[in-house]
Amino acid sequence: MRTSDLLRSALRNVRRSRLRTTLTVLALVVGASTLSLTTALGAGVSDYVTRQVDALGADDVLVVTAGSAQTGDGPVTYNPTRSTAAGGGAGLPGAGAAASLTDESVAALQRLSGLRDVRPVRSVALDYVQAGSSPRFELSLSPTGAVAQADLAAGRQLDAAGVADGIVLPQDHVAPLGFAGDAQAVGSEVTLAFTDLTGTQRQVPATVVGVSRSGLLSSGAAVGADFLDSLASQQDAGVGSPGRYPAATARFDPATADVAALKEEVGALGLQAQTIEDQLGVVTTVIAGITGILNAFAVVSLVAAAFGIVNTLLMSVQERTREIGLMKALGMAPRRIFALFSLEAGLIGLLGSVIGVALAAAAGTVISAALVAGPLSGLPGLTLLLFRPQAVVLVVVLIVVIAFLAGTLPARRAARQDPITALRYE
Amino acid sequence: MLTAMDEPTAVLEARHVHRWYGTGSARFHALDDVSLQVRAGESLAVVGKSGSGKSTLMHLLALLDSPDEGDLLVDGVATGDLPARQVQRLRNERFGFVFQQFFLNPAESVLENVVLPLTIAGVPAPARRERGMAVLERFGLADKARNRAIDLSGGQKQRAALSRALVGRPSVVFADEPTGNLDSATGAQVEEELFALNAEGITLVVVTHDEELAARCGRRVSVQDGRLSGGAAA
């Protein structure tokens, strides 16, 4: 039998007992839509978190801390390039006992060939921000904002090399500062004010290059790296840097650099290097876990639906005993009979999954929009349910495969049927 | 196209065939040392009471079943060692079947039912249609080609089944009680058609307990308790 004839025959048989097929398909629709929704939820949340993670730093950034380079058990060996604030006693007030980087360790990092643009993280405490003669508002500057990818509402990212006077303003400051909108704010000038160590208040102009959405993990405004350094130096007011930093950021070339080797090189200096992904590993793991559990529930419903397919096709085989017997008597190979019933199962799977996925996409888009506009409006930029084409295709393929597998049992029974028994009357 | 009438070799042959059904004490000797030759172009009636083993004999001759002992030959070639696919091809290309219960698929059209052997053989749709219509024409069912098989009368159904048996241009047609489900008038019509086929050179094997139908065949064998008796020309 030709494949086209098999397909036509399978199509006809699927349509023959409409009620039964419809009910089986319905069970699959439930499974398919559940799976699509859970995958879309996972994708939506992951996408949101990924953008939040980007807000912490680009993927070519290493954050170096003085933390233990040893990951195993046992005591930490002494390393002179690393010192603790408690031991040095020269830490900033409130710096606590946390290990910090010294100028020497930063210099050692700068000598590493794989790293460039090594900068100690320095924090600057702003007094206020003002646009023209607008009211003054408090604003915090993110110490690592220069290496971050802001979740932009308007404008552009800070340049990797650093912007002399650029600032990415958080979205919630735009209207209070008197700008008509996000886009209008870009390109205008704001004034940043801070008090240096001598107690003098200084004012510095900054150009708005972008407007960022507020997120879970990003905080405050970001300024270019060079700009931040100059602000920090001015705040020190030449009194002398303590030469201790909580961390340093460095860039590497993700295309050529071996991250693991780089981490090891940094580790040899007695320091610890982490990519942004390392730092957020826990968060992504938790999200993957929750999505996985939801998907598992959806798959359970699909397995239940698969039993429905088995049942439907077994009944169909029973009803068509004579037809199968006749086809075998007339020389149809058992393999082809098997293919015929498997195809029917696959068609039922295709029908159920396509309808289910379409329903999920339609309902999900509405629900997602309603939730984001309502209860979840505090998370700007969130698409709760993200239907990715490849995920949708994957769901359809998965269900067709499950349906095929479910169809093998009845198909085998049909293929093994004895034509004589099937054709015997009475 | 059809096997020549004067071909001397046996188209079908059973050699010392045994067939048992069941196991243990319920074991039942359905065929006991049956040997039979069916010559090309002849018409053979296999008669016997129900349960005598005549249907089993037909199933074996038609390669629908395999014997527990003995050999079945087609054109002098033993079929016991043939691969399954070749046996399927043999049935598909060389044999035609007519059953008492017609076995038409009610969901399909008359034409689709009739061309089923060609569909199974993988003949392209246009050729199927052409050959199907030609054979329906012959049996006066051309105008019913598009009807659903369930809408035909009994005689029309059996003529459709005859068309299906003939569409693959077989050399042997097996007819299992072909007139059993028909009234005498339509039964006689179908009988005429069967013997017209035989006259064209198609070997006919008819299983029946209808004496009149058996009498029209060139030769009859009767099966009793799994053994053959008779075999002379009627």
So what's the pLDDT on residue A373?
82
* pLDDT > 60? residue A86: no
Quick: pLDDT tens for A22-53: 998 998 899 889 888 888 888 888 788 777 76
Which three-class secondary structure state does DSSP give residue B180?
Answer: coil
Other CB atoms within a 10 A radius of the CB of residue A179 amount to 21
Contact A326 B103 (CB under 8 A): yes
Which helix (DSSP H) or strand (DSSP E) does residue B109 occupy? Answer: none
Q: Is the pLDDT of residue B118 over 60?
A: yes
- Provide mean pLDDT across the span A203-209: 87
Question: The CATH number of the domain where A212 resides is what?
Answer: 2.40.70
A60 assigned to some structural domain: no
Per-residue confidence (pLDDT) for residue B131, from 0 to 100 = 95
pLDDT at A393: 92
Non-local CB neighbours of A348 within 8 Å, separated by 6+ positions: A14, A21, A24, A25, A28, A309, A312, A403
Confidence tier at B67 by pLDDT (50, 70, 90): very high
pLDDT for A426 beyond 50? no
The answer to whether residues A288 and A403 belong to one domain is yes
Q: What is the mean pLDDT of chain B?
A: 88
In a domain? residue A309:
yes
Q: Is A423 touching B (CB cutoff 8 A)?
A: yes
- On whether residue A62 sits in a domain, the answer given is no
Residue A115 is predicted with a pLDDT of 82
**A326 contacts in B (CB within 8 Å)?**
103, 105, 116
Residues A89 and A161 in one domain: no
The DSSP letter of residue A141 is B
For residue B96, what pLDDT band results from cuts at 50, 70 and 90? very high
How far is it, in rounded angstroms, from Cα B198 to Cα B192? 10
Q: pLDDT band for B97, please (50, 70, 90 cuts).
A: very high
pLDDT band at A70 (very low <50, low <70, confident <90, very high): very low
The pLDDT score that the predictor gives to residue A318 is 86
Q: How far is A330 from chain B (nearest CA, A)?
A: 5
User: Is B188 within 8 Å of chain A by CB?
Assistant: no
Residues of B in contact with A425 (CB under 8 A): 100-101
Within a domain: A316? yes
Closest CA to A383 of A55, A44, A37: A44
For residues A237 and A251, membership in a common domain is answered with no
Q: Is residue A59 part of a domain?
A: no
113-142 of B, contacting A, C-beta below 8 A: 116-117, 119-122, 124-125
| Whole-number pLDDT of residue B1 | 46
* Cβ atoms within 10 Å, residue B227: 15
Same domain, A410 and A291: yes
Alpha-carbon Rg of chain A, whole angstroms?
A: 32
Max intra-chain CA distance, chain B: 55
Q: What is the DSSP letter of A68?
A: -
Which residue in chain B is spatially nearest to A16 when comparing CA positions? B107
Model confidence band, residue A425 (pLDDT cutoffs 50, 70, 90): low
Task: Answer yes or no: is pLDDT of A238 > 80.
Answer: no
Please state the rounded mean pLDDT for residues A90-117: 68
Map out the domains of chain B with their CATH numbers. Answer: 43-52+84-233 (3.40.50.300)
Chain B residue closest to A426 (CA)?
A: B101
Q: Which of A75-79, A92-96, A177-181, B109-113 has the highest mean pLDDT?
A: B109-113
Same domain for A150 and A235, yes or no, is: yes
A411-422 core/surface letters (b: 16 or more CB in 10 A; e: else): bbbbbebebbeb
**B64 and A322: CB-CB below 8 Å?**
no
A183 and A91 in a single domain? The answer is no
Residue B111 has pLDDT above 70, yes or no: yes
Q: Are A53 and A147 in contact (CB under 8 A)?
A: no
Domain identity same for A154 and A295: no
A358 lies in some domain? yes
Same domain, A322 and A399: yes
A91-100, A183-192, A312-321: lowest mean pLDDT where?
A: A91-100
B34: phi then psi, degrees, rounded to nearest 5: -95, 125
Name the residue with higher pLDDT: A161 or A322.
A322
Name the residue with higher pLDDT: A398 or A229.
A398
Report how far residue A192's alpha carbon sits from residue A305's, in angstroms, rounded to the nearest whole number: 63
Give the model confidence (pLDDT) of A173-202 as tens digits. 888 888 888 888 888 888 888 888 888 888
Which pLDDT value is given to residue B132?
Answer: 95
- Using a CB-CB distance cutoff of 8 angstroms, which residues of chain A are in contact with residue B103? 322-323, 326, 423
| B170 inside 8 A of chain A by CB | no
Q: In the structure, what pLDDT confidence band is assigned to residue A213 with cuts at 50, 70 and 90?
A: confident
Answer yes or no: are the C-beta atoms of B87 and B61 closer than 8 Å: no
Instruction: For residue range A382-405, list pLDDT tens digits in order.
Output: 778 888 888 889 989 999 999 999
Average pLDDT over residues A76-94: 49
Q: Complex ipTM, two decimals?
A: 0.88
Out of A1, A329, A420, the one facing B91 most closely (by C-beta) is A329
When mean pLDDT is compared over A41-55, A89-103, A259-273, B76-90, the highest value belongs to B76-90
Alpha carbon of A409: minimum distance to chain B alpha carbons (Å): 22
**Domain residue limits at A134:** 122-241
- The closest CB to that of A327, out of B65, B120, B122, belongs to B120
Which among B64, B101, B122 has the least Cβ separation from residue A329?
Answer: B64
My answer on whether A290 and A418 are in the same domain is yes
CA closest to A13 among chain B residues: B107
Query: What pLDDT does residue B43 have?
Result: 93
Strands (E), A276-396: none
Same domain, A291 and A408: yes
> What one-character DSSP code corresponds to residue A318?
H
In a domain, A278, yes or no: no
User: What count of Cα atoms within 13 Å lies in the side-chain half-sphere of residue B175?
Assistant: 36
Model confidence at B231, pLDDT cuts 50, 70, 90, reads low
Nearest by CB to A423, which of B85, B88, B103? B103
Residue A276 lies in a domain: no
Q: What is the pLDDT confidence band of residue B221, given thresholds at 50, 70 and 90?
A: very high
Using a CB–CB cutoff of 8 Å, tell me whether A332 touches chain B. yes
For residue range A369-379, what is the model confidence (pLDDT) as tens digits? 888 888 877 77
- Same domain for A237 and A188: yes
Tell me the average pLDDT of chain A: 80
pLDDT at B15: 93
pLDDT band (50, 70, 90) for residue A94: very low
The count of structural domains within chain A is: 3
**Taking a C-beta distance cutoff of 8 angstroms, is the pair A52, A216 a contact?**
yes
pLDDT by residue (tens digit) across B158-205?
Answer: 899 999 999 999 999 999 988 888 888 888 888 998 999 999 999 999
What pLDDT score does A218 carry?
60
A81-95, B55-69, B194-208: the lowest-pLDDT one:
A81-95
Q: Is pLDDT above 60 for A366?
A: yes
Give the C-alpha separation, A143 to A361, whole Å.
Answer: 41
* Three-class secondary structure of residue A139 per DSSP: coil
Percentage of chain B exceeding pLDDT 90: 56
Partner residue facing B64 (CB), from A16, A334, A419: A419
Contact B88 A1 (CB under 8 A): no
Please indicate, yes or no, whether residues A149 and A203 belong to a single structural domain of this protein: yes
According to the model, what pLDDT value does residue A80 have? 63
Nearest CA in chain A to B121: A1
Rounded alpha-carbon distances, angstroms, from residue A155 to A389, B31, B98: 29, 93, 82
pLDDT > 90: what percent of chain A?
A: 13
User: pLDDT grade, residue B89 (50/70/90)?
Assistant: very high
Placement of tokens 């994957």 in the chain: A394
Q: Terminus-to-terminus CA distance in chain B, angstroms?
A: 29
The whole-angstrom distance between B40's CA and the closest CA on chain A is: 21
